[in-house]
Amino acid sequence: MTIDLLTVTDLKKHFIIGQKGILDREPIRVKAVDGISFAVREGETFGLVGESGSGKSTVAYTVVGMYQPTEGDIAFRGQSMYGRGRKRRSDLRKEIQIVFQDPGSSLNPRRTIKDIVGFPLRLYGSNEDLQTRILELLQMVELPADYMHKYPNMLGGGEKQMVAIARALATSPSFVILDEPTSALDVSIQAKIINLLLRLQREFRLSYLFITHDLSLMRNVASRVAIMYLGRICEIADAAEFFRNPYHPYTQMLLSSIPVVSDEEEQLKPKKITSRGEIPSPVNVPSGCSFHPRCPQSKDICSREDPALVEVEPGHTVSCHQSSQG
């Protein structure tokens, strides 16, 4: 039986960035995340995909506790992560960890690798021998023992990300958020990091929330995929179904733009869809379906009504008037 480890329900995260004017003191809000729901099952990789500005990293930072939700709830193992006064439960800090996009900026350059990897162990008062545990963690991520005495600026980008992964695993978490973990790395190193993450997932039964803009990566990594656009989810499906039968015009647009190397792969892609303009600002989200100003299939209803997320096939949900009307 598959169990939902993390459940996100109607999550909103809005930021106030100022006010409209001297006389009009109404706040200007950035609706970075605006009412999304999804669940991550035990042992799976759930892919969250979107363009820059879609809100996917804000989801990551809210789940890990760097931001507090504006509205909605996040539950872990069936229990809300927030107690009275919306205070986050401290017992979840060890269970949920994050690996950031740029290891160069997420590692303290003045600390040795031993200090960086050992910090969570000291923070949570581990009873294990500190040096022995650090050596175990470095071995897990395929780094030599003598790296514990080095500084981040002595390492390559891939090695820095391995250190960041080791630090995330120090507390023996069950859930790890991967926020674009390979996008800042050379192509030659990306495959090594992905294979490492998949091996660690198998060995320690980890659940991943994998955030990326790279749809082609999701084909081989994710169990299920969700597409975000302007703070909302527009489609969720199993990975195989998602690539075989995309419903939402935005999803089709993203898939049709994936580069391929053979005619056979080209035939598997959806028909090329050309969108109009650029992604709007989250300060001024269009009315109705937020994708309608760019959608080549939009109708009058698309500008007036925000489509609900409905199930069009078992396990496949879409937020689109075209799909809901058959």
Q: What average pLDDT values come out for the chain (326 residues) when binned by 10 residues? A: 89 87 75 95 95 92 93 93 74 90 89 95 81 95 95 94 96 95 87 95 97 88 95 95 90 79 54 70 87 89 92 94 66
Which 3 state secondary structure label does DSSP give 2? coil
Calculate the alpha carbon distances from 316 to 10, 240, 248, 307, 323 in Å: 18, 11, 11, 15, 11
Residues 235 and 319 sit within 8 Å (Cβ to Cβ): yes
The CATH code that applies to domain 4-95+173-324 is 3.40.50.300
Task: Give the closest residue to 166 by CA, choosing from 107, 218, 125, 81.
Answer: 107
- Per DSSP, the three-state class of 121 is helix
Identify the burial level of 280 via C-beta atoms within 10 angstroms of its C-beta, where 0-12 means exposed, 13-18 middle and 19 or more buried.
middle
Q: How many CA atoms lie within 13 A of 141 on its CB side?
A: 27
- Check residue 284 and give its pLDDT: 84
Residue spans per domain, the chain:
4-95+173-324
CA distance 18 to 24: 11
Structural tokens at position 200: 């660690």
pLDDT at 273: 64
